Amino acid sequence: MSSDQDRLSSSFPTTRMRRVRRHKWSRQLVSEQQLSASDLIWPLFIREGESQRESIPSMPGVERISIDLLVEAVGEAVDLGLPAVALFPATDPALKTPECEEAINPGNLVCRAVRAVKQAHGDSIGVVCDVALDPYSSHGQDGLVRDDYVVNDETLEMLCKQSLVQAEAGCDVIAPSDMMDGRVGAIRKALDERGFLDVQIMSYAAKYASAFYGPFRDAVGSSGNLGGGDKHTYQMDPANGDEALREVALDIAEGADSVMVKPGMPYLDIVRRVKETFAVPTFAYQVSGEYAMLNAAAQNGWLDREAVMLESLLAFKRAGADGVLTYFARDAAKLMRQQ
Ligand code: PBG
């Protein structure tokens, strides 16, 4: 007889929530969500050169790698069952200009990377490419700047051209992260006119002007360029939720195949509202600052890295995300394979 039974002969409490938690098999049986490698998209930073890897201090465990190493890393992703990778170029500072010409150069770093990855791995993995001008701009902004203002419509023309060179290189999913108005519709039209009917658009639909992007800007080398500038005239105000739904509605109407909420953990309420309102494929981006935060605590021995990694990713699924862009993708997939 257990001591609880000794103490209570009556059947109070009638409902015992702990009953199904008692055994592992039972917990597994009633679990509502399951995380798997097929939910994760792995963002990778690329650089010029050969056999080059460079660590990013604010993102422990994440590196900028040259294209040859990228091809290997993507091979690992395929083996681990990750469905897609997202590529981010760290552009040579000498190629960054106010007009961002390098963004539309068919021979730029990201286009060469896509070609190499597709040549090596074909259709066994999806390749997602960001569309925004910040990796190429000397000012660090996502669009063209006129009189100290990031202009919308002129930027759209560049974004369309950028999307086309990436699609021509073999990119499967165009992911506009710039937050200009009308970009999804403009890009869809440009892709369709050039025959890229099956290139998907994953729109960074609800992208907030967040301080959690800091380490990413270190990784692609755009933080210094941004100087004291910020992105508040185009990225969303963290105070707003209804506005996120309007952004998502517009992007879906303009032809987005899937939508994203970014950052992730501080915006799980938005993930939930988007999924419930629109029932479209919905992704969350666990951004660089979230990764940095969890790793910094783990490095101090304050958090268990593996446990918080899996818990945080599972939380995205519970909130309604169909998938997560996360710098933990490889480590999480490895861990899930062992379990
Ligand atoms: C570029 C872009 C950013 C991120 C993804 N695409 C940075 C920004 O908007 O300044 C952030 C990703 C991260 O922090 O992990 N437009």
> What ipTM was assigned to the predicted interfaces of this complex?
0.96
Cα-only R_g, the chain: 22
Establish how many alpha carbons lie within 13 A of residue 294's alpha carbon, considering only the half-sphere containing its beta carbon.
20
- Pocket test of ligand 1: the residue of 213, 261, 288, 290 to mutate, having most ligand atoms within 8 Å of its CB, is 213
> For 115-163, what is each residue's pLDDT tens digit?
999 999 999 999 999 999 999 999 999 999 999 999 999 999 999 999 9
Catalytic entry in 96, 118, 207, 275: 207
Distance CA 255, CA 75 (A): 31
The pLDDT score that the predictor gives to residue 225 is 77
Distance CA 216, CA 272 (A): 25
Q: How far is the CA of 19 from the centre of ligand 1 (A)?
A: 45
Closest CA to 289 of 209, 225, 173, 178: 209
Where does the chain have alpha helices with state H? 3-7, 24-30, 67-80, 109-121, 153-169, 183-193, 214-220, 223-226, 242-253, 268-278, 288-299, 305-319, 329-338
**Which residues, 6 or more positions from 319, have their beta carbon under 8 angstroms from its beta carbon?**
268, 269, 271, 272, 275, 284
Quickly tell me which residue has 């994760």 as its tokens: 40
Q: What is the average pLDDT score of the chain? A: 95
| Pairing state between β 63-66 and 40-47 | parallel
Active site residue 262: yes
DSSP 236: B
Asked if 111 contacts 78 with a C-beta cutoff of 8 angstroms, the reply is no
The pLDDT score that the predictor gives to residue 131 is 98
The pLDDT score that the predictor gives to residue 184 is 98
Residues having CB within 6 Å of any atom of ligand 1? 130, 132, 134, 142, 177-178, 213, 216-217, 231, 287-288
Helix (H) or strand (E) holding 175: strand 173-176
Closest residue by CA, ligand 1 atom 5: 177
Residue segments in the chain with a per-residue pLDDT below the cut of 70: 1-10
- Residue 8: exposed, middle, or buried by beta-carbon count in 10 A (0-12, 13-18, 19+)? exposed
With H, G, I as helix, E, B as strand and everything else as coil, classify residue 305: helix
The pLDDT score that the predictor gives to residue 9 is 61
Catalytic entry in 96, 262, 275, 317: 262
The pLDDT score that the predictor gives to residue 6 is 61
Closest residue by CA, ligand 1 atom 11: 213
Quickly tell me which residue has 């990228």 as its tokens: 70
The pLDDT score that the predictor gives to residue 8 is 60
- For residue 255 the two structure tokens come to 């032809």
Distance CA 2, CA 107 (A): 72
Asked if 137 contacts 96 with a C-beta cutoff of 8 angstroms, the reply is yes
- Residue 63: exposed, middle, or buried by beta-carbon count in 10 A (0-12, 13-18, 19+)? middle
Closest CA to 157 of 133, 177, 173: 133
- For residue 32 the two structure tokens come to 């509502």
Active site residue 207: yes
Distance CA 206, CA 29 (A): 35
Q: How far is the CA of 177 from the centre of ligand 1 (A)?
A: 7
Closest residue by CA, ligand 1 atom 10: 213
Distance CA 255, CA 174 (A): 12
Cross-strand partners of 45: 64, 88
The pLDDT score that the predictor gives to residue 189 is 98
Distance CA 96, CA 113 (A): 18
Distance CA 334, CA 331 (A): 5
Question: Which CATH superfamily groups domain 36-338?
Answer: Aldolase class I (3.20.20.70)
The pLDDT score that the predictor gives to residue 3 is 61
Q: Is 54 annotated as a binding residue?
A: no
